[in-house]
Structure 1
């Protein structure tokens, strides 16, 4: 695509063990970003010192209590200058030097407003986590258009700011990320972009290494917050149920573990799913009660 300004934004919190590798990787891309902004939530470790060793990286420090996934990213984007703005999390490492070039490529189509990339599980990922990542972020790229919403339901709005890129004009047209929003800011803006006529692209060639080995308690908390936010955003997401997609994921993962002979992991994942469902359900119900009282 024609040479245009590209900004990369990375929110951080205690990222001292990983931020140097990430910044170095970005500085050695085949398409080097014109601007890198790190927004640090007052880390307790040496994150800011490490960032300052990269003289071309701009560091913005905020109070930890002021961070939220929507508002902080929106602030950073409005501080940036790129026509295309890329978001990465501190623990998402581009797989190769072509990451930026790959995630920018779909923007050749002037209708594309958002592109998100593929997440490859880490070497230490649990067997179930690897299967989940490979199911959610498969090897085939695809484009979602407004007319696909009815057919795809909630899947049409899938996106992830772990590794995503936005066309600034599209982002601004739909009002940007909300402030505050506790999670799923990427899903909500994907929905608004599609409703406004923009396309959302999953680009499988833009790969980052990223996964988590969450505990059951962590899964409950994460899914509780997701349940709250998704219920609050039913006006954007519509009435498409998420359970059907969830069951398909569980089936895929269970069969994969069975084929690998990982019976103990099957039991662990079954309990993990219970915690996910319980967290999401409680978050949904709590949000409904709060909305009725409002």
Structure 2
């Protein structure tokens, strides 16, 4: 199978170096890699000397979650599978790439994503988010599963995701005008075109974020904006609020068991996430400058 690995980067830290070292340890050898660099000090230069790696430099202001990823695919139009990683996702073992590629032996699979484990030392909130969203059992969903799983059917994560080239072309590639969640957008489009989405629990990366409460608010505002502007996804697959309720219940159980004193912070944290999401859903009534201030992706509001 002809694969292409693509990693967009911006001011990376040492996690990128760890990721590059793990790529070289994979059971699939000499994986062709494209690094799309929108801002770095070339600190990774020595690490890629012995890799089949192309670096594409772009201006920081031109980065776009979907558009930049599509640019990477367009640079290699004949690849069978495109694998995307973020700079802070570290492959957990030498089989990660091989395991996610294997799911494409099923001709119906259009895209796949791997399991995310919390980084060492992650907060209990970051740890719970990974344990809740990324279980240890693989599955494959098709459009028929939306009646049972709702919004969960279109879940995906470009921190470690793979796309069949044919399926990506079939849906017109990544969107260039979404604030984030380009992965969910493509997954939804693929499901509607009768492709399937696979979750591969055996393909693992370490990836988590220790967001502050304010950062959580801003991220969920952006998610709300995405759901408002791509309302067809909620209309077709259901609202996200149901999954949110299950998340909160699971979080309470974990905190009661391990860190009960953090329940008060959880209430405030989740309340801010909910407020941010609701503001995002109603962003049309908000001033553009205000939206830019409370958004995590400020460049979107130019």
Question: Structure 1 length normalisation: TM-score?
Answer: 0.92
- Shifted more, 19-28 versus 52-61: the winner is 52-61
Q: Secondary structure of the residue that 2:65 maps to in structure 1?
A: coil
Matches within 5 A, 1:192-271: 192-238=189-235, 240-260=238-258, 262-271=259-268
**Contiguous gaps of at least 5 residues in structure 2:** 288-302
Distance verdict in 2 for CA 1:190–1:235, change over 3 Å: same
* Contact 1:116/1:161 (8 A) holds in 2: yes
The Cα shift of 1:13 comes to 0.7
Q: CA deviation at 1:270?
A: 1.7
* Residue 57 of structure 2 is aligned to residue 61 of structure 1: yes
The alpha-carbon distance between structure 1 residues 221 and 162, as it changes in their structure 2 partners (threshold 3 A), is same
Contact 1:5 1:84 in 2 (8 A): yes
Range moving further from structure 2, 45-54 or 108-117: 45-54
Secondary structure of 1:207 counterpart: strand
- Give 1:52 deviation, angstroms: 5.2
Contact conserved, 1:143 with 1:201, CA < 8 A, in 2? yes
Q: 1:186 aligns with which of 183, 186, 196?
A: 183
Q: How well do the aligned residues superpose, as a CA RMSD in angstroms? A: 1.7
Residues 101-124 of structure 1: per-residue CA shift (max 9 Å, x gap):
110111111000001000001111
Instruction: Report deviation, 1:82.
Output: 2.4
Contact 1:157/1:187 (CA < 8 Å) preserved in 2? yes
Q: Deviations over 1:245-285 (max 9, x none)?
A: 0010010011111012x122222222111111111110110
Q: Which residue of 2 aligns with 1:26?
A: 23
Q: How does 1:54-203 map to 2 (within 5 A)?
A: 54-80=50-76, 81-203=78-200
Secondary structure, aligned partner of 2:120: coil
How many matched pairs? 285
Q: Is the 8 A contact 1:14 1:46 kept in 2?
A: no
Q: TM-score scaled to structure 2, two decimals? A: 0.90
The 8 Å contact of residues 9 and 37 in structure 1, kept in 2 or not, is answered as yes
Contact 1:16 1:46 in 2 (8 A): no
* Alignment gaps of 5+ in structure 1: none
Out of 195-204 and 45-54, give the one that drifted further: 45-54
- Residue 35 of structure 1 contacts residue 82 of structure 1 at CA under 8 Å; is this kept in 2? no
State the Cα deviation string for residues 211-237 of structure 1 (Å, max 9, x = none).
Answer: 110011111111111111111111234
